[in-house]
Amino acid sequence: MTTQAIPETNTPALPTGTQAAVLHGARDLRIEHKPLAHLGPNDLLVEMRSGGICGSDMHYHAEGRNGTNVLGQPTVLGHEGAGVVIAAGAQATITSGTPVVIEPALPCRECATCLSGRYNLCPTGTCFGSPPTDGLFARHVVVPESAAHPLPDTIPAEIGAAIEPLAVAVWAVERAQVHKGHRVLITGAGPIGLLVAQVAAAQGAAEIVVTDVNDDRLAVATKFGATRTINTATTPLDLAGMDRLIECSGNSLALADGIKALAPATRAIVVGQAKPTVDGIPLGFLQRYEIDLVTAFRYANAFPTAIRLAASGVVDLQSIITSTYPLEEAAEALTAPVTDPTNLKVLVTY
Least distance between Zn ion and beta carbon 134 (Å): 16
One residue of 111, 213, 293, 331 binding Zn ion per CB under 5 A: 111
Which residues touch 153 (CB under 8 Å, ≥6 apart)?
none
- Displacement of CA 349 from its chain's centroid (Å): 17
Least distance between Zn ion and beta carbon 279 (Å): 27
Q: Which span (30-38, 113-121, 252-260, 341-349) binds Zn ion, by CB under 5 A?
A: 113-121
Q: Which span (51-59, 60-68, 81-89, 321-329) binds Zn ion, by CB under 5 A?
A: 51-59
Q: Residue 337 interacts with Zn ion (CB under 5 A)? A: no
- For 270-316, give the DSSP string: E-SPPPSS-S---HHHHHHTT-EEEE--S-SS-HHHHHHHHHTTSS-
Q: Residue 143 interacts with Zn ion (CB under 5 A)? A: no
- Displacement of CA 350 from its chain's centroid (Å): 19
* Closest CB to Zn ion among residues 111, 286: 111
φ, ψ for residue 335 (rounded to 5)? -110, -10
How far apart, in Å, are the Cα atoms of 266 and each of 170, 203, 291?
A: 19, 17, 5
How far apart, in Å, are the Cα atoms of 286 and each of 135, 161, 242, 289?
A: 39, 37, 14, 6
Q: Residue 122 interacts with Zn ion (CB under 5 A)? A: yes
CA distance 311 to 319: 14
Q: Residue 108 interacts with Zn ion (CB under 5 A)? A: yes
Strand partners, 187: 211, 247
Q: Which span (50-58, 172-180, 211-219, 254-262) binds Zn ion, by CB under 5 A?
A: 50-58
Q: Which span (64-72, 85-93, 119-127, 330-338) binds Zn ion, by CB under 5 A?
A: 119-127
Least distance between Zn ion and beta carbon 202 (Å): 20
One residue of 107, 129, 193, 250 binding Zn ion per CB under 5 A: 107
Least distance between Zn ion and beta carbon 74 (Å): 21
Q: Residue 54 interacts with Zn ion (CB under 5 A)? A: yes
Least distance between Zn ion and beta carbon 124 (Å): 6
Q: Which span (33-41, 102-110, 145-153, 274-282) binds Zn ion, by CB under 5 A?
A: 102-110
Helix axis angle, 303-311 relative to 191-202, nearest 10°?
80
Least distance between Zn ion and beta carbon 164 (Å): 6
CA distance 107 to 89: 20
Q: Residue 121 interacts with Zn ion (CB under 5 A)? A: no
* Closest CB to Zn ion among residues 124, 235: 124
Please give the residues from 167 up to 206 whose contact with Zn ion meets the rule CB under 5 A.
none
If one counts every other C-beta atom within 10 angstroms of the C-beta of residue 19, the result is 17
What spatial distance separates the first Cα and last Cα of the chain, rounded to whole Å?
Answer: 28
If one counts every other C-beta atom within 10 angstroms of the C-beta of residue 260, the result is 16
Least distance between Zn ion and beta carbon 121 (Å): 8
One residue of 114, 161, 271, 348 binding Zn ion per CB under 5 A: 114
Least distance between Zn ion and beta carbon 302 (Å): 13
CA distance 24 to 61: 9
Residues that bind Zn ion (CB under 5 A): 54, 107-108, 111, 114, 122
